[in-house]
Amino acid sequence: MKLRTILSANRLTLGQAAKILEIDKSTVSKICSQTYPNWEQKEEECIQNLAKKGYNKIVPDQFMVDTDVVVPTRSVDAFVSLADDLSDPEGSQCSSLGMVIGTAARGKTHTAQWYTNTRHGACYVLFIEGSTRVQLLRDICEALAGVRPITFGGCLDFIHETCAKRHRLIVIDEADKMPVSFLELIRGINERCKVPIILSGEEALKAKVDRVPRLRSRIRNPVVLYEPIGSIDVAAFYALACGIEIELETAESLAKRSGGAWRVLVNDALALARIGRASGIATVTPEMIGKLQ
C-alpha cells in the first residue's frame, strides 16, 4: 500500500498529512514521489503512524488517480537542479536568472507549483497578460509575504527588504507573455534585490530574451527545455499516481495519445479511472483506451 493511496482514501492533503505526522510538507511530498532518502522505510513509518491516529481507511481494488504526483522525468530533474542551484544561499549570484521553456501542457506549471509548494523560500507568480508593471510587482510581493504595497516604489522597497532578510527564489510562470520591457524590469529586480528568479514559458520566451544581450547574459546555463513525455514517463506516472503497473505497449499507446503533453496524460488517466470504476477494473486495458474520446 502506497502512502499516496492512504492520503487519497482518507481525503488528506500533503499539508494535512504533514501536520498529523509532525514533519515538513516537503518531506511528505518527497516520500510520495520516491525521491526521499530511504523512502521505502520512511513511507512505511508514515503509514503506520497515520494508522495509529485513525487514518487507516483504504479503498481496495479501485482505480484512483492522484493528480498531485510529480514524475521525476529528465525535464523535472533539470528544473529541480536549476531551482536548487539558484536557491542555494551559498551559491553564485552571477547569472542568477533561470529560464524554463517548452510547448504548452508539458508540465512546466505543474512542476513549478509543486516545487514552490514544497521548498521553503520559493514562491510562484503567474503572469497575467495585460497586467501593469505595478500589478506584477504587487503579485510578487503577495507571493513573497502576502502583502500588496500600493506604489511602484513601495513594491520595490518591500521586495528588496524581504529578500535581504532571507534568501528567496521567485518562479514567474507564463513569462513568454511578458513584453520585453517587463523582462527588463525583472532583470532590474534581480540585480537590485539580489533575488534569483526563474522565468518559465513557451519557446517564444527565449526568442524575446535573446534579443536583449544584457538580459541574455544574466540567464543561468543550461536553459531547461521541457521535452515530450515518453512511454517510460507514462508507466512511472501510473505507478506513482494510480498504484498500478501497466504494460509497455499500453504505456506507448497512452504516450502517443498524449502527444507528449502532461495535461493530456492526466486527463486520460482520470477518464480511464472513471471507466475502470464503472466496470470494476483496477487496471488499464486496450478496450478502455479505445473508449477515450
For residue 149, cis peptide bond before it (omega within 30 degrees of 0): no
Cell of 184: 527588463
State the residue for C-alpha cell 504548452.
104
Question: Higher confidence at residue 26 or residue 79?
Answer: 79
10 Å Cβ neighbour count for 220? 19
Q: Does domain 1-60 have CATH number 1.10.260?
A: yes
Cα separation, 206 vs 222, whole angstroms: 12
Torsions phi, psi for 169 (to 5 deg) = -130, 130
Write out the CATH class of domain 74-225. Answer: alpha beta
Question: Higher confidence at residue 65 or residue 153?
Answer: 153
Strands in 102-144 per DSSP E = 122-126
Please give the C-alpha separations between residue 57 and each of 8, 69, 80, 253, 292, in angstroms, as whole numbers. Answer: 9, 20, 33, 33, 31
74-225 and 1-60 share a CATH fold: no
Please give the C-alpha separations between residue 234 and each of 81, 114, 174, 175, in angstroms, as whole numbers. Answer: 22, 19, 25, 28
What are the CB-based long-range contacts (under 8 Å, 24+) for 251-260? 253/286, 253/289, 254/284, 254/289, 255/229, 255/230, 255/231, 257/289, 257/292, 258/229, 258/234, 259/228, 260/103, 260/106, 260/227, 260/228, 260/229, 260/230
Torsions phi, psi for 100 (to 5 deg) = -125, 125
Using 50, 70 and 90 to split pLDDT, how confident is the model at 7? confident
Query: How confident is the model over 59-99, as pLDDT tens digits?
Result: 545 678 889 899 999 999 999 999 999 999 887 777 899 99
**Residue type (1 letter), 194:** K
Cα separation, 140 vs 118, whole angstroms: 18
Q: Give Cβ neighbours of residue 56 (< 8 Å, ≥ 6 apart).
A: 6, 10, 50
The DSSP annotation for 242-256 comes to IS----HHHHHHHHH
Query: How confident is the model over 258-271, as pLDDT tens digits?
Result: 999 999 999 999 99
Cell of 243: 498504484
Q: Report CA torsion sign: 260, 263, 264, 267.
A: positive
pLDDT value, residue 90: 84
Query: Domain map of the chain by residue range?
Result: 1-60, 74-225, 229-293
> What predicted TM-score, i.e. pTM, was given to this entire model?
0.82
